[in-house]
Amino acid sequence: MTQPAATPRIPATLIPGDGIGEEIVDATLAALDALQAPFDWDRQIAGLGGVKASGDPLPPATLESIRRTRLALKGPLETPSGGGYRSSNVRLREEFQLYANLRPARTIIPGGRFDKVDLVVVRENLEGLYIGHEHYVKIDDDPHAVAMATGINTRAGSRRLLEFAFDHAVLTGRKKVTIVHKANIMKALTGIFLETGLELYERKYKGQFELDTVIIDACAMKLVLNPWQFDMLVTTNLFGDILSDLVAGLVGGLGMAPGANIGADAAIFEAVHGSAPDIAGKGIANPIALMLAAAMMLDHCKLTQQATRLRTAIDQTLNIDQVRTGDLGGSASTAQFTQALVSRIRNG
């Protein structure tokens, strides 16, 4: 009798991160183990953990691991506000040219202020004001009298991101894509993004989905008045950073918000919330955001059946078993939620 072929193993980098990172990573690994996901993990450090271990928030060994695997799952990394070291998240995007930030937001627990929300924000990840070209101008005895920043958007960078968004819309059956901009005021910086999107749609995608445009401030208002009028939002770096968190708030907050940073040569999947050092080690962290990021990682690796099983188990654990962590109105610990989820996966 012929034995079934073994599932090919997939090398992947694992970065638990700081604060609650270890706890939510352990929970997510338990879920992936129950799914028999074929990842071979190379555990690495970054963020504050990297600084403490080697004096570098993004150690060379971590970068080399991602270059080799081209795939990573990452917990939250601590970044100091104001001074200190530069964001490891931004450095990772730059190092591996992760130009597309994919942020889905879907209602999992019904009955909230907004129900049945199913949105995707696609954010350009490498350009705009996030390029970090900033400096101060000294006046008299004040070395920080004037602060200046330069934003840069390119035609090529805009087209690359818009093509990713439009292709993702077609692949996942999205009916409408909305380009978010501020071209009425920032005519060059965001105008080039809008112009490129309109031209690309007419040339290559017309008829495959509806295309709409909206100014960023109007978009923010419309999202909190009637989020169901949108399906997919695609926008520049800073606007995408803001809108993706706003959209997460429609479905319960950052604890329910996964993210993917995707480029030509690597993809990094993450929980987008902070490291929450105030609750680290207490066993009460909500691991759902990282688990949903792992589901996106499974999709990326064409393991769609396992991705669907993971999302279904999360839904059932929350809504049928009513096992929820404190931030979702329940009393379950991280371990109790994980145990209930793993049971759902194995018995589902």
Which residues form the catalytic set? 130, 182, 217, 241
- Contact in structure between 238 and 255 (CB atoms under 8 Å): no
Helix and strand element counts for the chain (H, E): 11, 12
CB atoms within 10 A of CB 91: 16
- Contact in structure between 88 and 47 (CB atoms under 8 Å): yes
Decide the pairing of beta strands 267-271 and 258-262.
Answer: antiparallel
Residue 21 tokens read as 């990172």
- State CA 342 to chain mean position distance: 24
50 DSSP assignment: H
- Contact in structure between 300 and 26 (CB atoms under 8 Å): no
Which element (helix H / strand E) includes 106? Answer: strand 100-106
Q: Positive or negative CA dihedral for 20, 307, 92, 43?
A: positive
